[in-house]
Structure 1
Amino acid sequence: MAPRTDFPPVRACLFDMDGLLLDTEDLYTLCINIVLAKYGRPSLPWSIKAKLQGRPFPQSSAIFSEWAKLPVSDAEYQAEVAALQQKHFPTTQPLPGVMQLLADLGRTRYWDTSAAAAAAAADSPENKKKNRVHIALATSSHANNFRIKTAHLTDLFSVFPSERRVLGDDQRVAPGRGKPMPDIYHLALSTINAGLAPGEPPITPEECLVFEDSVPGVESGRRAGMRVVWVPHPMLKQEYAGREPEVLAGRMNEAAAEGNGDVDPDQLGQVDDGWAEYLESLVDFPYERYGMAIPPPEVEAEPEMQQASKEAVAAENAQS
């Protein structure tokens, strides 16, 4: 089909965390493989790991248990892995391009979104691009793991106000409705819309850009009616070689494979429909492709902008 090209400018970016913002995927594998080796089992292959990524804990745990067939209970295995994660997760680091991307998006808060400014912008195609780009986090990581992974990265994650962090154990996401279902991204968008400034119109799903590394996560974003950027681990990309168009369309049957009775086929995309793309990394992100205008770096050097930045961060931290 002909790809769509008339998208509105992106006004909200919704981020997964593990393997997208942070280099946690290899740490997960390391911890799991240590336990597998202890019980004489083979290392975790990417064919199985790909099925674990992005999913809520109950689903991923069941998939792993069925494959691993360890001679210990699930509870004993989880305790051993959790102890290893406590040791290794505090070493997590942002993946390439992440810090620059979040800093760039953060500077869009300097665009004036008042009703008067919006009316003036209507006369200028260039000014129409000057929208604030709001961000939210939508991760399957539970609160405890989130804290372990991010406690040493407070500056990086301070850009996500606490009310715009949707975690895997968020009670507002019903059991069984985690990724690849769309609920977590709908909720993330609602947290943004709830805090928009007066005069700033609500953001629609097609004005959102989802950033994901996992295949279930891509399907989640597509089912939410949002555009998606897929930035997979190189080994995951290799695992799906030749099937990238179906991944980007959300057509890998991830939700159906879990037996979810509420799967809506109309939520799925179409191959090559223009709603999703693959990127090797987040370095040099193509903002113009998504209608986003980024203020120049020197804007933060202006005294009044520095003060505005400090006040914004202080307000966010006070709410955290």
Structure 2
Amino acid sequence: MTSPPPIRACLFDMDGLLLDSEDKYTICTNAVLSQYGRPNLPWSIKAQLQGRPGLQAGKIFEEWAQLPVSRDEYMKKVTEMQKKLFPECKALPGVEELLKGMKERGVEMALATSSHSGNFALKTGHLGELFSVFDEEHRVLGDDPRIPPGRGKPAPDIYLVALETINARLRKEGKKEVLPEEALVFEDSVPGIEAGRRAGCQVVWCPHPGLLDLMKAKEDLILAGQMGEHKEEAGEESSVAVDGNGRRKGAPGEVGDGYGRLLKTLEDFPYESYGIKSKQSNHL
């Protein structure tokens, strides 16, 4: 088995990976659950919601919560709380240094978040400097029209679209495009990791401690994208091409193939182990 190639581009999730917004989602959800005498959201359910588009996550939540109110009424209550909490979002440990470090080393970067534009603005409006590393053309949000309905994470489309935003610019500049296997996806969620692997990318899984504890002994399957979060239908294909090296379109990876790594924090990121050269010598 050949070693993964050096990394030329990084594709970042946002909620729970760059920002502490996942904890704020939980606070809002639990507050509404308590109003109806329901228990707090357990990690066994939250793990299924993370990274997924709102409609898909909503269906999973509703089946579990069994609240005596309509989805619209529930969403109204939660949204009111989110509008107050989201503007307080903060970068998680190591994030500022990592984004700055990648930028200084000449690594291409794009954002790929399931958050729709409204929530994205609430979470990041006060964090302009942090998100300035992502040019507008390299920000792919959950309501991006280039992602077909039903093709959010764990399908690979959002990461393939994000990579294409980079390659479109590189083509214009007459530079070599980044292959999927030369891109590193950063994720905190299990569906997100599967999306990255199905896109043909290398992945870093940096989960919440609660999720890591829940998934104990399943780490290798998660890093390979083999948790089966995405249910393929017969003849189903991604809307965006993957790579030309013979790898089956949209397939997950293999256990132990070296394309996935678990990091408990984004602090002190090991650039050199990914073939990312020092600030002075990186000419990718």
Q: Which amino acid aligns with 1:166?
A: V
Task: Assess if the C-alpha contact under 8 Å between 1:249 and 1:268 holds in 2.
Answer: yes
Quote how far apart the aligned CAs of 1:265 are.
8.4
Quote how far apart the aligned CAs of 1:179 are.
0.5
Show the counterpart of 1:269. 253
Quote how far apart the aligned CAs of 1:260 are.
4.7
Out of 205, 224, 236, the residue aligned to residue 211 of structure 2 is 236
Out of 155, 165, 185, the residue aligned to residue 129 of structure 2 is 155
RMSD between aligned residues:
1.4
Cα distance in 2, alignment partners of residues 75 and 154 from structure 1: 32
Quote how far apart the aligned CAs of 1:8 are.
2.1
SS in 2 for 1:254: coil
Show the counterpart of 2:180. 205
Out of 166, 170, 175, the residue aligned to residue 192 of structure 1 is 166
Q: Which amino acid aligns with 1:65?
A: E
Cα distance in 2, alignment partners of residues 199 and 282 from structure 1: 33
Task: Assess if the C-alpha contact under 8 Å between 1:140 and 1:167 holds in 2.
Answer: yes
Where do residues 165-176 of structure 1 align in structure 2 (5 Å cutoff)? 165-176=139-150
Structure 1 stretches of 4+ moved >6 Å:
263-266
Cα distance in 2, alignment partners of residues 86 and 294 from structure 1: 41
Where do residues 167-316 of structure 1 align in structure 2 (5 Å cutoff)? 167-196=141-170, 198-256=173-231, 260-261=233-234, 262=236, 267-295=251-279
Quote how far apart the aligned CAs of 1:294 are.
3.2
Show the counterpart of 2:242. none
Task: Assess if the C-alpha contact under 8 Å between 1:23 and 1:94 holds in 2.
Answer: yes
Where do residues 80-159 of structure 1 align in structure 2 (5 Å cutoff)? 80-108=77-105, 132-159=106-133
Give CA deviations for 1:260-296 in whole Å, capped at 9, x if unaligned.
Answer: 5527787111111111010001000000111101316
Q: Which amino acid aligns with 2:178?
A: I
TM-score norm. by structure 2 comes to: 0.91
User: Structure 1 stretches of 5 or more lacking a match?
Assistant: 109-131, 297-320
The 1:105/1:151 distance shift into structure 2, 3 A limit, reads same
Task: Assess if the C-alpha contact under 8 Å between 2:156 and 2:250 holds in 1.
Answer: no
Larger radius of gyration: 1
Cα distance in 1, alignment partners of residues 274 and 47 from structure 2: 28
The total of aligned residue pairs comes to 268
Cα distance in 1, alignment partners of residues 20 and 57 from structure 2: 19
Quote how far apart the aligned CAs of 1:198 are.
2.8
Task: Assess if the C-alpha contact under 8 Å between 1:20 and 1:95 holds in 2.
Answer: yes
Q: Which amino acid aligns with 1:78?
A: M
User: Structure 2 stretches of 5 or more lacking a match?
Assistant: 238-247
Quote how far apart the aligned CAs of 1:184 are.
0.5
Out of 69, 72, 77, the residue aligned to residue 74 of structure 2 is 77
Give CA deviations for 1:90-146 in whole Å, capped at 9, x if unaligned.
Answer: 1110011100011111113xxxxxxxxxxxxxxxxxxxxxxx310000000000000
Show the counterpart of 1:307. none
Whether 2:5 is the aligned partner of 1:21: answer: no
